Amino acid sequence: MKMLLIKNIKKLIQYEQEPVEQPKRGSQLSVLDTIDNAFLITEDGVIKAFGPMDRLDKYMERVSDNTKPRGLETLDAAGKIVMPAFCDSHTHLVYAGSREMEYSDKLRGLSYQEIAARGGGILNSANLLHNTSEEELYRQSVHRAWEIMSFGTGAVEIKSGYGLTPEDEIKMLRVAKRIGEETPLIVKRTFLGAHAVPERYKGRREEYVNEIINEMIPVIAAEELADYIDVFTEEGFFSVEDTDRIFNAGIKYGLRPKIHANQMSFSGGVQVAAKYGAISADHLEFTAKEEFEALKKSGTIATLLPGSTFFLEMEYAPARDMINYGLPIAIATNYNPGSSPSGDMKFMMALACLKMKLTPEEAINAATINGAFAMNLGESHGSIAVGKKANLLITKEIPSYEFIPYAFTTPLVDTLVMNGKVIGML
């Protein structure tokens, strides 16, 4: 039995006496339970106990009477906050190279769609990825995986979608799988073959959708490379009808839908996602009451990606209206080379507070427990509860949890604990 004791914690936040069984919605999002001057004990990678420091001696007496702990490791978290590691439920962090040249185009005034129409954007990344070996793609991507851990992320969803051929989509998903096997990160994988229509199918979008359905989904499912299926449902990308067909096919192979919906327009994406009981609908910059109602009925999590809204200089998703409507919302980074070259959940929380008017409590819930539910990890991750996985973030010495979104560039992470194992961070 391996035990870890974290003691003298200035504030333990986001703990649950009774773990919630569903993502937090509406007013539940402002509830953030905390204990001052606390301890937390993990055993074999699982949270075993926590409480105020004055109960620690009693707890330890009881433990040593029964099972004498061997190899007890102790961390002193005086002045520090302990919370669940972030759960980043929307990323594209497996990609080759970078696209800062498009950044210059963007600064000269070209829109995301204009850059894409010139062969930049997703097709540019697909080209780069095609010319990169699987080993090199792993090398570049695993670097980003460690980068996001250094920002405090413990669980992540990674999408394909820069392959756009059966071979390259599989290459991406294999790399994502390897990241989950060779780093401490918990990784969920999403097949996003319908991210853009590749050059070779220009003007023949339906035929590419056929290839996704007939050539890609069966192989990806057979190799168990994906948990979810996703579509970029947007003018110039994929239609509601395409999405309908792809979701139908994916569900037959056990892939649950996620969607890129309503990022640039009222695309109908939310409604089709709700129709198929998608676990999350992501982006949602263009949404109003009709979309809210569809999401509410299906229980789909509204995943907001303020990093790309910031980078593309658009209007933010109406998060406050969503919360007032009683929707469950999550925040994710959308880490990708085109619209959000950042995997920093703390920065996303800062944007969510400043630009979407979330409170720090709401932002923390959206970045932890609701992000976990958006990856079907809500029962094991995203909060501090007895029996849950010990995936914890120990902050540097900071005055309060409000300081996290407030000090938006100050390094936050002192130590990450993944499955009870201490991972030191700079």
Residue numbers of the site for ligand NIG (CB under 6 A)?
Answer: 92, 121-122, 125, 232, 260, 263, 308, 334, 336-339
Report, in Å, the least distance between residue 208 CB and ligand NIG.
16
163 φ/ψ angles, rounded to the nearest 5 degrees: -95, -65
Cβ atoms of 264 and 235 within 8 Å: the answer is: yes
Report, in Å, the least distance between residue 333 CB and ligand NIG.
10
Cβ closest to ligand NIG, residue 91 vs residue 365: 91
Rg (CA), the chain: 21
Cβ closest to ligand NIG, residue 81 vs residue 259: 259
Q: Look at residue 222 and give its three-state secondary structure.
A: helix
Cβ closest to ligand NIG, residue 193 vs residue 420: 193
Cβ atoms of 369 and 409 within 8 Å: the answer is: no
CA dist., res. 277 & res. 368, Å (int): 22
Residue 187 neighbours by CB under 8 Å, 6+ apart: 155, 156, 157, 158, 176, 177, 179, 180
Cβ closest to ligand NIG, residue 43 vs residue 285: 285
Report, in Å, the least distance between residue 337 CB and ligand NIG.
5
Residue 265 neighbours by CB under 8 Å, 6+ apart: 234, 235, 286
Which residue blocks in 276-376 are alpha helix, DSSP H? 289-298, 306-311, 319-324, 345-356, 360-367, 369-373
Cβ closest to ligand NIG, residue 91 vs residue 383: 91
Strands annotated E in 100-180: 153-159
Cβ closest to ligand NIG, residue 255 vs residue 284: 284
Report, in Å, the least distance between residue 35 CB and ligand NIG.
37
CA dist., res. 81 & res. 100, Å (int): 36
Q: Which residue is nearest to ligand NIG (CB)?
A: 338
Report, in Å, the least distance between residue 263 CB and ligand NIG.
5
Report, in Å, the least distance between residue 280 CB and ligand NIG.
13
